[in-house]
Structure 1
């Protein structure tokens, strides 16, 4: 049972997924908010039933699953609709993540929460520390353009749509710079793993 939980976050194209993989390679359980968000509205779930109750049958696709494209179009630019959807999904995600982290083997687990800065740490009071994967915006832009095959203007809009770098760093107990090589990243992850093992009281 993991009694110590580290929240992992960072901006788009900062390398959060690679950091998660590095911790998993060290035997650490990583619970991913994006994956959990899909699970809590999977076919047959009470989360999906509530979405249908609130938004109607139009929220479903032909197979009876959540029609994500239709729902994105419905809530995009509509604050009231977006908040209704978030009120269904977000509490379930937090509860599921907390349970999964608590049940994880080992002395500590990682909760990967991409939008932690946007949500606020207060919604995740059970986190013991927050680790921010940090890169300069220029690096984010370059990676986004290369990864997604987009132009600079769209990359800048994607970055601007998220919390600022400064607001993420304000949340941080630990900062992992990720503008170097993969070898640099691997070294830093091992150092953090050692630190968290000490804090969590690993055997």
Structure 2
């Protein structure tokens, strides 16, 4: 009876044990390979000091990602995940990420430019600014009323738009030349028109 129990146990658990051993072997080999390649790159850096560190550091990092990514794919394959399924999932994820990135590009651009406006202070609330479109064509000009994550609100200082507000996307301040007057140096409307 004991022999029968051992044979049943062995037949029931042999496949999971073998797969677990294969996974551990893959991970061990990946770690050893990564360490050997790291040492080889270090020896190459010592032997050839003229090689720039800016080249060797990304090389070591790239090899590490390549080895660990390959090990992960091998482990998933040993656990029964099809390579075609993995490839389809990866390409699908990359495609969706690319579409999402392009869809929110302007939003991210305005958020980042708002951060730059707040930290670098190219202008402040109360200052008067003019976004210069081209040398012969005047752009938007006005007094800064507020700065939020997407827009900077300006009070229009031109004669035809006096009293109106203009919301300018924050990214526009980094794409065009900007003329600025401090709050105490506010120009008159006639000076802005010239």
TM-score scaled to structure 1, two decimals?
0.20
Larger RCO, structure (CA 8 Å, separation 6 or more): 1
Select the structure that is richer in helix: 2
Q: Which of the two has higher C-alpha Rg? A: 2
